[in-house]
């Protein structure tokens, strides 16, 4: 839909009957689409409702009714604005692999295909660094291109459940380090530095959600894999005799305190 108004006509409803309004969204570009669904109801026999709209009538009602010449209610109108945000097909998963009790930093390049550019002359050079604001709530960060005609992106790392969030949130760090613009192909590349410091073996998933304020939503799955840690030490127990106990002492340190 493209800033159009759609009206349903000729649908007959009995008292307290429901009707579904189908809305089909087929975006051609990664931009915000807006439409309005208008529903108008009137009596089948063409008669008016006896209720008359006056200056003292309910203001919400006045906005939603059509009035006949004699002041009676001729019909009721409902207006539903609709905003459509295109979503890119989900990309292949990016694997972040690290041995437990170790630390890994991995460069992750995410390609945002189909971005609507404000204009070639207004865009920053490919080497310019983005301004990153950390004032957004819930780990959401805003990326703004330093230009009068800016493109802004919001990114956030989302988890499949609260349980996975509790396992991963303190082990994963993500920071935008670079961005690249290609006006001809309409591709924006955001380059992140992802840090993973697992304390024990695991396999969990998360998703980087990126949204452009000009329109468009991209999702990039991440899979975090922590393999078995190295052996801490080899304990040698020397036998003192057949059927006799041998005792070896060793210390255990808890990482969680």
Task: Specify the CATH number for the domain of residue 171.
Answer: 2.60.40.2310
Same-domain status, 79 and 155: no
SS3 254: coil
Given a contact cutoff of 8 angstroms between Cβ atoms, the answer to whether 115 and 187 are in contact is yes
Q: Let me know if residue 146 belongs to a domain.
A: no
Tell me what the mean pLDDT of segment 27-40 comes to: 88
Burial degree of 218 (CB within 10 A; 0-12, 13-18, 19+): buried
Tell me what the mean pLDDT of segment 95-114 comes to: 95
Which residue carries 């591709």 as its tokens? 187
Same-domain status, 107 and 170: yes
In this structure, what is the dihedral angle of CA atoms 92, 97, 103, 104, given to the nearest 10 degrees? -50
Tell me what the mean pLDDT of segment 69-73 comes to: 79
pLDDT above 90 covers a percentage of the chain that reads 35
Q: Let me know if residue 250 belongs to a domain.
A: no
**In 3D, which of 147, 149, 76, 70 has the Cα closest to residue 116?**
149
Quote the tokens at residue 145.
């291109």
Range of the domain at 21: 1-85
Q: Give the model confidence (pLDDT) of 112-153 as tens digits.
A: 998 887 654 333 333 333 333 333 334 455 554 444 346 788
Dump strand ranges (E) for the chain. Answer: 5-7, 33-41, 49-52, 65-67, 72-84, 94-99, 104-113, 131-133, 141-144, 152-159, 172-182, 187-196, 202-212, 217-227
What is the count of structural domains for the chain? 2
Instruction: Determine the Cα–Cα distance for residues 129 and 175; give it in Å rounded to an integer.
Output: 13
Same-domain status, 25 and 101: no
Q: What pairing do the DSSP bridges indicate for beta strands 202-212 and 152-159?
A: antiparallel
SS3 120: helix
Same-domain status, 59 and 111: no
Is pLDDT at 194 greater than 80 in this prediction? yes
Tell me what the mean pLDDT of segment 71-96 comes to: 88
Average confidence score pLDDT of the chain: 80
Q: Let me know if residue 234 belongs to a domain.
A: no
Q: Let me know if residue 238 belongs to a domain.
A: no
Confidence grade of residue 52 (pLDDT, cut at 50, 70, 90): low
Same-domain status, 219 and 175: yes
Q: Let me know if residue 135 belongs to a domain.
A: no
Q: Let me know if residue 220 belongs to a domain.
A: yes
Q: Let me know if residue 219 belongs to a domain.
A: yes
Reading across the β-sheet that carries 152-159, which strands appear in turn? 94-99, 217-227, 202-212, 152-159, 141-144, 131-133
Same-domain status, 43 and 65: yes
pLDDT above 70 covers a percentage of the chain that reads 77
Same-domain status, 60 and 178: no
Q: Let me know if residue 122 belongs to a domain.
A: no
């Amino acid at each position: 839909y493209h800033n159009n108004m759609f009206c349903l006509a000729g649908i007959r409803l009995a008292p307290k009957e429901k009707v579904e309004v189908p809305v089909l969204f087929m975006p051609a570009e990664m931009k915000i689409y807006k439409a309005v669904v208008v529903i108008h109801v009137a009596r089948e026999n063409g008669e008016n409702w006896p209720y008359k709209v006056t200056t003292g009538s309910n203001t919400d009602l006045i906005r939603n009714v059509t009035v006949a010449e004699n002041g009676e209610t001729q019909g009721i109108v409902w207006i539903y604005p609709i905003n459509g945000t295109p979503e890119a097909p989900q990309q292949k998963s990016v694997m972040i692999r690290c041995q437990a009790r170790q630390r890994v930093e991995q460069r992750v390049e995410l390609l945002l295909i189909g971005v609507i550019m404000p204009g070639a002359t207004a865009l920053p050079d490919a080497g310019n660094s983005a301004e990153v604001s950390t004032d957004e709530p819930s780990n959401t960060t805003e990326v703004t291109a330093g230009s009068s005609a800016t493109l802004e992106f919001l990114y956030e790392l989302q988890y499949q459940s609260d349980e996975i969030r509790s396992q991963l949130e303190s082990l994963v760090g993500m920071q935008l380090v670079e961005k690249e613009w290609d006006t001809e192909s309409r591709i924006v590349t955001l380059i992140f530095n992802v840090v993973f410091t697992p304390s024990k073996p695991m396999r969990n998933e998360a998703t980087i959600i990126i949204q452009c304020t000009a329109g468009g939503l991209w999702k990039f799955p991440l899979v975090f894999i922590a393999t078995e840690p190295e052996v801490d030490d080899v304990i040698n127990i020397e036998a003192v005799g057949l059927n006799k106990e041998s005792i070896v002492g060793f210390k255990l340190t808890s990482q969680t305190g």
